[in-house]
Amino acid sequence: MTTNPSSSWNSADYTTTGAFVAEHGAAVLELLNPQSDERILDVGCGDGALTLKITEAGADVLAFDASPELLATASERGLDTHLGSASNMEFNAEFDAVFSNAVLHWVLDAEGAAQSMFNALKPGGRLAVEFGGFGNIAAVSTALRATLIKHGYQDLPDDHYFPSAEQYARLLESVGFVGVEAKVIPRPTFLEAGMEAWLRTFRNGLLERLEVPQDQYELIFNETADLLKPALFDPATGWWADYVRIRVSARKPTVD
């Protein structure tokens, strides 16, 4: 199974600090518009918080993720789960719709993911996905990189896929999708738990990958937050992350 080597998830942390991820899923859920007689694949369901909302529409949903830990939480929530990598899913023409929220930026083999999602759809099936688009978390990544370089970590991996609308539309069309509509939407995102908690939840995996000693994590995250304060901390409201989303819909042709 291929997983992003910079991703590492703590389920308890994700369901608290990361709760905003599912809360911001309303727009892509609306784009999906799930129907009660449909079978839907949720690619990268995480802890299943948003997947549950698809089931509330009456659809039969398969919750798919690469993290056994997050999938265990999804399963405890009563969801039908499947462990695997989004870049090589083995489904063949089984789903009326494929959905994904805040996940595809972790899948570096974007072409493999696009092809797998296409294969998973029945002819005429639809795709509704949202994830990090071009420019996503540019300030956060730059500050974390600067801090890591200062601490002697030079070989920093490019560990996310944040495409432009044109780039992603071309990719989907190259695997056979039609009717592709992709737009990039800047969405500054309020971090209720603050920047250091966000870094602990979402960037621990990068520090693990770089073999940073555990006792340096707090220092590195504190220094990163200090660098970001002038840009992303609003004294009136608190911390914001410079999120940019790409929201996409497309169809598999009726006859392929």
Q: Which two tokens stand for residue 110?
A: 């974007």
Residue 136 as a binder of ligand BEZ (CB under 6 A): the answer is yes
- Least Å distance between CB 244 and ligand BEZ? 8
Residue keyed to tokens 């990090």: 132
Residue closest to 15 by CA, chosen among 42, 48, 44, 41: 48
What tokens does 186 get? 């800047």
Residue from 49, 50, 70, 102 binding ligand BEZ (CB under 6 A): 102
Shortest distance (Å) from residue 137 CB to ligand BEZ: 5
For ligand BEZ, the binding residues in 20-39 under the rule CB under 6 A are none
Q: Is 128 in the site for ligand BEZ (CB under 6 A)?
A: no
Name every residue whose Cβ is closer than 8 Å to that of residue 227 and which is 6 or more positions away in sequence.
143, 146, 147
Q: How far is the CB of 58 from ligand BEZ (least distance, A)?
A: 28
Of all residues in the shown chain, the one whose CB is closest to ligand BEZ is 132
Q: How far apart are the first and last CA of the chain?
A: 28
202 binds ligand BEZ (CB under 6 A): yes
105 binds ligand BEZ (CB under 6 A): yes
Our finding on whether 160 is near ligand BEZ (CB under 6 A) is yes
CB of 179 to ligand BEZ, least distance (A): 25
Residue 26 to residue 30: CA distance in whole angstroms: 6
Reading the block at residue 203, the tokens are: 């960037």
Residue count, binding to ligand BEZ (CB under 6 A): 8
Question: In the chain, count of helices (H) and strands (E)?
Answer: 10, 10
Judged by CB under 6 A, the stretch of 57-65, 113-121, 131-139, 145-153 that binds ligand BEZ is 131-139
Neighbours of 64 (CB within 10 A): 27
Is residue 86 near ligand BEZ by the rule CB under 6 A? no
Decide: 15 and 49 in contact? Cβ < 8 Å: yes
Q: Which chain residues interact with ligand BEZ by CB under 6 A? A: 102, 105, 132, 136-137, 160, 202, 243
